[in-house]
Structure 1
């Protein structure tokens, strides 16, 4: 089946891409650039750099700017899916949703309206198991935002690895280890399907402990 990937550039959508790559025909990526980190549906930090990831993957990408409200986000999603159907003949959408019923219900509603299947290969998986699978798959995802106590600024720029996974596991009673609720966000700089890796040339940190973002100001592709 021909599918589009709802792609934020983070760890979960990248893992979802890798999980369906052999069983479906991945035609394009869909990404959305919300007005700010207050977006109800889509990731905000470094969203514009997803176009560089698309080049690394060798996949076409459809980009839509949107406001922060769910209504604006869903309208942008519907428009992007219509374009993907017309240009690439997609029959389904793949998401990296894990346990967010809020997102899953709304994405499913749009797909039903357009006659598209929806696939969420990470759905209801244990968050720590998924983090381990991300590392085992060979996905390099760095933390680009912290948005909840007790996550501090010193996590920014660090890759998801065994040490970070153990830290999140120790906090799972008070924090969603996947970051699906905005507790933290990630940006993938390398993965098995990347033909080139992303090299960060210039970045800066804004904010404070429990509410800080690593802004990637300049990056380029380099040979692996």
Structure 2
């Protein structure tokens, strides 16, 4: 068993990717595909609470339609407890089932700087004899965001919970100017520009992975004074 964090050396593998529909999980798949590995399945873990330390919550119910846009099978599992140990057990059980079904040899995740997440994923995979791919690890935040936009990733912010990120960000699509604005705000208010600490969450409505585009037809902004969500209530897949 071997673990891969920064490079893609070795034989080409069949992999499952942890998938939330956000920018990082989509770009991780994109990077792995660029190096020739095969993503055979997507895996979504639905946490019990919206501030799970391991898994994405806002609009997680949309991953089946996004998997359809990518044209990959999705396996979805529900965590019935907010305890970290229980979430880890759900992940382990899910990987056992997916390995039996798809004969996977490793997993992909979109972690960038969270040693906590990476360490927990490593522990599970080491136990199961699976490789871990972390293709986004330690990417410089600003360069990473601008690169995604250059590569035609259309990214919409669906939640904010950091000082400096106000209601108007909800439902907005990132462009180069907005990324520059976020850079300034992250320096002023000292939040993680990658949003990896839950400062904000995103959904990708189109990118090179998608065979069809996800179009938001209607959404509701729910603001709670110092944080909020953009709840997507109506949507469709359209031909590109």
Given the superposition, is the C-alpha separation of residues 172 and 150 from structure 1 closer, same or farther in structure 2, using an over 3 Å criterion? closer
Q: 2:42 aligns with which of 29, 37, 49?
A: 29
Structure 1 position 63, deviation (Å): 0.2
d(CA) in 2 for partners of 1:106, 1:115: 14
Number of the residue aligned with 2:196? 180
Aligned residues: 224
Structure 1 unmatched ranges of 5 or more: none
Number of the residue aligned with 2:126? 112
Structure 1 position 8, deviation (Å): 1.1
Which structure has the larger Rg? 2
d(CA) in 1 for partners of 2:112, 2:235: 29
Q: 1:14 aligns with which of 17, 26, 29?
A: 26
Task: Confirm whether residue 126 of structure 1 aligns to residue 122 of structure 2.
Answer: no
Task: Confirm whether residue 65 of structure 1 aligns to residue 65 of structure 2.
Answer: no
d(CA) in 1 for partners of 2:73, 2:193: 31
d(CA) in 1 for partners of 2:221, 2:82: 22
Q: What SS is found at the alignment partner of 1:172?
A: helix
Number of the residue aligned with 2:111? 97
Deviations 1:151-205 (A, max 9, x none): 0010011112111210121133311001000000001111111010111222211
Superposition RMSD on alpha carbons, in Å?
1.1
Structure 1 position 80, deviation (Å): 1.3
TM-score normalised by L of structure 1: 0.96
Structure 1 position 209, deviation (Å): 4.7
Number of the residue aligned with 1:168? 182
Given the superposition, is the C-alpha separation of residues 92 and 210 from structure 1 closer, same or farther in structure 2, using an over 3 Å criterion? same
d(CA) in 2 for partners of 1:215, 1:156: 9
TM-score normalised by L of structure 2: 0.90
Deviations 1:80-133 (A, max 9, x none): 111110011100101100000010000010010100000101101111111112
